[in-house]
Amino acid sequence: MRRLRRAIVAVLALALVAGAIYAIVAVLQRSETLVSERCVAVVGSESYELATDQSANASLIAAISVRRGMPPRAASIALATAMQESRLRNINYGDEAGPDSRGLFQQRPSQGWGTEAQVMDPLYAANAFYDGLAKIPGYESMEVTQAAQAVQRSAFPRAYAQHEPMGRAFASALTGHSESALSCELRMPDAAGDPAAVVNELTTAFGAQASSVEGRSVHVDVTGTQAWAIGHWAVANAKELSITQVDVAGHTWNREKRNGWTDAAAPSDTLTITVSAPTT
């Protein structure tokens, strides 16, 4: 009888432990599901929010301006323009004013912007916009509406102005002129990241960088505004590339902690981007 009681107690204990583990896992899974994924850029006391796909497109547009050596104002104009034209999404349709408009900037093949395939390529589209902007004398001191309209020739030129504050905040962060100013709140990745994919996408955006791969991490030998431009780019692309941590200039963004940028002991002469490991 005593053995039976001990066996029953052991079974009950195991059941309680299993139930507790199940409850913890369920809570964690539910908390992940409840995470509202978004990216936020802060300038001064103001903050501006974009969805993760919008932020990734914004990061490419800003990176190309950095690669071309253009001032942050160029990125502000480009981001405000793309937000008005496509909501910063690479859409494959136009409207009544431009039925053949396509892509981030709603560029029209019929007006000489390129083929449909070209304007649907975000890299091509952003460069085409900057090519046009660079031809506008004094665009750096123009109102966003004036500069954008000079390139786009929109039927609604004043509409660009409403997106200027957002464009300025994201451009300042994504060109590296504001430190620890862009953060994304994300669920944890459900697949392993690939350091090589990070290097490939980084090269597409910024051109070749002095970098090395060590395990799950990519080390990029950059400092100053370039380091922050790439660091913020990595955060903006963390969802797609399964990035879990970014370390730059003594600051860390950690995907799991979801507390923005915090102080860390990261060396100031190296930027490190870490991707998720395979699940076991």
Average pLDDT over residues 241-249: 97
pLDDT of 26 strictly over 50: no
Using pLDDT thresholds of 50, 70 and 90, give the confidence band for residue 270.
confident
Which residues on neighbouring strands pair with residue 68, listed in sequence order? none
Per-residue pLDDT band for 17 (boundaries 50, 70, 90) equals: very low
Beta strand ranges found along 109-161 (DSSP E): none
- Is-contact 91 72, C-beta < 8 A? no
Closest CA to 238 of 223, 218, 222: 218
Higher pLDDT, 164 or 33: 164
Query: What is the per-residue DSSP string for 153-183?
Result: --S-GGGGGGGHHHHHHHHHHHTTSSTT-EE
The DSSP bridge partners found for residue 252 are 247, 262
CA–CA distances in Å: residue 9 to residues 5, 17, 161, 165: 6, 12, 71, 64
Quick one: pLDDT band at residue 153, thresholds 50, 70, 90?
confident
pLDDT recorded at residue 264: 85
Q: Give the mean pLDDT of the chain.
A: 90
Q: What is the pTM of this model?
A: 0.87
φ, ψ of residue 245 in degrees (nearest 5):
-155, 145
pLDDT per position as a tens digit, 111-142:
999 999 999 999 999 999 999 999 999 999 99
* Percentage of residues of the chain with pLDDT beyond 90: 79
Question: Please, which pLDDT band fits residue 32 given cuts at 50, 70 and 90?
Answer: low
Q: How confident is the model at residue 279 (pLDDT cuts 50, 70, 90)?
A: confident
Round to whole Å and give the CA distance between 232 and 271.
Answer: 11
Q: Where are the beta strands (DSSP E) in the chain?
A: 38-43, 46-50, 182-185, 211-214, 217-220, 243-248, 251-254, 261-263, 271-275
The Cα 116–Cα 107 span in angstroms is 9
* Spatial separation of the C-alpha atoms in residues 263 and 196, rounded to whole Å: 27
Phi, psi of 173 (to 5 degrees): -70, -50
What's residue 266's pLDDT? 59
Whether residue 239 is predicted with pLDDT greater than 90 in this model: the reply is: yes
- In terms of phi and psi (left: phi > 0; alpha: psi -120 to 50; beta: otherwise), the region of 226 is alpha
Per the CB < 8 A criterion, the answer to whether 276 and 244 are in contact is yes
Largest Cα–Cα separation, the chain: 96
Residue with more model confidence, 43 or 48: 48
Quote the tokens at residue 259.
Answer: 């507390």
Radius of gyration (C-alpha) of the chain in whole angstroms: 23
pLDDT in tens, 84-108: 999 999 999 987 668 899 999 999 9
First to last CA, the chain: 42
Query: What pLDDT does residue 25 have?
Result: 43
Q: How far apart are CA 53 and CA 240, in angstroms?
A: 9
| Main-chain phi, psi angles of 95, to 5 degrees | -130, -170
What pLDDT score does 262 carry? 95
Give the mean pLDDT of 182-201: 97
pLDDT of residue 186: 98
Q: Is the pLDDT of residue 2 over 90?
A: no
Say whether 166 sits in a helix, a strand or coil.
helix
Give residue 14's pLDDT.
Answer: 59
Q: Are 261 and 209 in contact (CB under 8 A)?
A: no
